[in-house]
């Protein structure tokens, strides 16, 4: 890395270009984030650049005195050890005088210089703290526990998640991308296919979901909207209640099997009656519940 990219310069100011390795380009892109988290602890100052390393609390001196080039002062390659005399600060570069209050606060230990990682209290690097620092924390997905739960099927959960975010490849979206020539729902051939139509304005899926709600003794309100149905399940059932697990399994399974039926009709030219689709949903839920009961019994043994 030193020989190829830094070439005797400073790591923090080394740049990348399009032909460089992916690792180096990624490092270059995240350097500014890392710079916010790293401070050099001065021991004897011998391995710390006065201008380019972050060794005072406010950051790098080259950034703080940006109107001044280190080369102009002839001290561009000096290390902090040049500012130390008899274990005391000896600021012999006049342009650094304004920074004296910050520099004077730094105690000189006489040991080797070291790096301090600021996000952790003890100064030691951890991947957890680094990830927390660089990640962008988005809004919390409030329906997370309707989508993901211990007995959920990952494929079905992912399908439901995509549906809730309106990211399924429904025909209204495909037409916008110029991929599909028809926008008619293949389940009913009556209306345009969209997420909101499939879940739940289409007579085919309405029938299946109504049957599920009947079995689960859920109130059949006329919301006919996937997000509202998911919110109702979350609101109306208490956590750890068995019926809550069943309702979530039913919603996950219904969204999945309606989507599978759509795929079957478009790509395999085959049809399954809505009663048969409901039967599959029922079987899915039954298998999940039985599997969980067996797992619980095995846990008690």
Cα separation, 261 vs 43, whole angstroms: 69
Do the Cβ atoms of 67 and 77 come closer than 8 Å? no
Q: At its nearest, how many Å lie between Zn ion and the CB of residue 180?
A: 15
Looking at the Cβ atoms of 118 and 186, the one nearer to Zn ion is 186
Torsion 297-299-300-301 (CA) sign: positive
CB closer to Zn ion out of 164 and 202:
202
> Contacting Zn ion (CB under 5 A), which of 108, 130, 188, 216?
188
Question: Which of 61, 185, 249, 281 touches Zn ion (CB under 5 A)?
Answer: 185
Determine how many CB atoms are found less than 10 A away from the CB of residue 260: 16
The smaller minimum CB distance to Zn ion, of residues 156 and 202, is found at: 202
Interface segment toward Zn ion; rule CB under 5 A; list 64-72, 73-81, 183-191, 270-278:
183-191
CB of 204 or CB of 237, closer to Zn ion: 204
Q: Report the nearest approach of Zn ion to the CB of residue 226 (Å).
A: 14
For the four alpha carbons of 80, 82, 83 and 89, in that order, the dihedral sign comes to positive
Cβ 267 to Zn ion shortest distance, Å: 17
**Which string of DSSP letters, residue by residue, matches 76-133?**
TT-BGGGGEETTEE----GGGGGGHHHHHTSPP-SS--EEEETTSTTS---HHHHHHH
Give yes or no for a cis peptide into 200 (omega within 30° of 0). yes
Q: To which residue do tokens 């959920």 refer?
A: 152
Neighbour count for residue 239 (Cβ, 10 Å): 9
Looking at 60-68, 199-207, 216-224, 234-242, which segment touches Zn ion (CB under 5 A)? 199-207
Distance CA 107, CA 224 (A): 68
Q: Note whether 277 binds Zn ion by CB under 5 A.
A: no
Backbone angles phi, psi at 156, to 5 degrees: -70, -40
What is the phi/psi pair of residue 41, to 5°?
-95, 125
| Shortest CB 192 distance to Zn ion, Å | 9
Residues 218-247, one symbol each (x = binds Zn ion by CB under 5 A, - = not), give ------------------------------
Residue 172 Cβ vs Zn ion, minimum distance, rounded to whole Å: 12
Nearer residue to Zn ion within complex by CB, 35 or 188:
188
In whole angstroms, how close is the CB of 258 to Zn ion at the nearest point?
10
Q: Tell me how far apart the alpha carbons of residues 117 and 133 are, in angstroms, rounded to a whole number.
A: 12
Of the candidates 156, 164, 202, 246, which one interacts with Zn ion according to CB under 5 A?
202
In the complex with Zn ion, which residue's Cβ is closer, 194 or 253?
194
Residue 71 CA neighbour count, 13 Å, CB half? 1
Applying CB under 5 A, which of residues 187, 230, 247, 251 lies at the interface with Zn ion? 187
Q: Are 272 and 170 in contact (CB under 8 A)?
A: no
Number of H helices, E strands in the chain: 13, 4
Report the residue number, 26 or 273, with the smaller CB distance to Zn ion: 273
Q: How far is the CB of 188 from Zn ion (least distance, A)?
A: 3
Binding-site size, Zn ion (CB under 5 A): 4
Q: What is the contact surface with Zn ion in residues (CB under 5 A)? A: 185, 187-188, 202
């Amino acid at each position: 890395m030193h020989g190829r990219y830094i070439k005797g310069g400073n790591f923090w100011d080394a740049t990348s270009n399009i032909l460089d390795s992916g690792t180096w380009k990624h490092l270059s892109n995240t350097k500014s984030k890392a710079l916010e988290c790293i401070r050099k602890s001065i021991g004897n100052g011998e391995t710390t650049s006065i201008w380019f390393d972050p060794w005072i609390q406010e950051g790098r001196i080259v950034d703080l005195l940006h109107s001044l080039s280190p080369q102009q002062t002839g001290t561009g390659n000096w290390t902090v050890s040049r500012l130390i005399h008899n274990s005391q600060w000896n600021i012999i570069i006049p342009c650094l005088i304004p920074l004296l209050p910050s520099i004077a606060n730094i105690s000189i230990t006489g040991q080797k210089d070291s790096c301090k990682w600021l996000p952790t209290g003890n100064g030691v690097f951890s991947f957890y703290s680094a990830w927390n620092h660089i990640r962008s924390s988005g809004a919390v997905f409030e329906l997370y526990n309707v989508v993901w739960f211990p007995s959920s099927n990952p494929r079905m959960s992912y399908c439901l998640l995509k549906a809730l975010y309106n990211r399924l490849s429904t025909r209204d979206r495909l037409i916008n991308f110029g991929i599909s020539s028809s926008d008619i729902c293949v389940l009913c051939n009556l209306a345009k296919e969209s997420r909101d139509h499939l879940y739940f304005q289409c007579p085919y899926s309405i029938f299946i979901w109504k049957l599920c709600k009947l079995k689960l003794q859920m109130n059949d309100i006329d919301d006919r909207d996937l997000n509202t149905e998911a919110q109702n399940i979350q609101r109306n059932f208490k956590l750890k209640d068995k019926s809550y697990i069943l309702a979530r399994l039913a919603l996950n399974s219904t969204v999945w099997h309606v989507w599978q039926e759509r795929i079957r009709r478009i790509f395999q030219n085959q049809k399954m009656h809505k009663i048969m689709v409901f039967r599959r949903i029922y079987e899915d839920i039954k298998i999940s519940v039985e599997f969980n009961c067996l797992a619980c019994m095995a846990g008690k043994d």
